[in-house]
Amino acid sequence: MKKLLDIIKVKPQKDYTLLLVFENQETRLFDMKPYLDKKPFIKLKDSSLFMQAQVAYGTVVWSGNIDIAPETLWDNSKRLKPVLPIINRTKRVGINL
């Protein structure tokens, strides 16, 4: 039995995808487009509603009692490679480059 991971951050995108951060700090991309013709997600075709996605109770929710199971988000999303922070070398204190 695999552990159910909570979503801790969501950032909806204009292309109807969701950038997700799970509690294990893994970042994943979930495509909502295949779900938009199914209840209750039909309402999310309204982009202004879709863009109001937020995290509650460990998953993604929208107003109007719309939510999606975290296991669906995990199982049907793609893992994104971690992005390393860019260091501005000219501003490092005490190091001459």
Higher pLDDT, 92 or 41: 41
Distance of CA 57 to the CA centre of its chain: 14
Whole-model pTM: value is 0.82
Amino acid at residue number 65: N
Rounded Cα distance between 68 and 54, Å, is 11
Out of 3.30.2020.10, 3.40.50.300, 3.40.640.10, 3.30.1130.10, the CATH code matching 7-80 is 3.30.2020.10
Token readout for 6 is 């909570």
CB 58 within 8 A of CB 6: yes
Q: What is the mean pLDDT of the chain?
A: 88
What is residue 94's DSSP assignment? T
Rounded Cα distance between 86 and 92, Å, is 12
Q: What is the per-residue pLDDT for 95?
A: 41
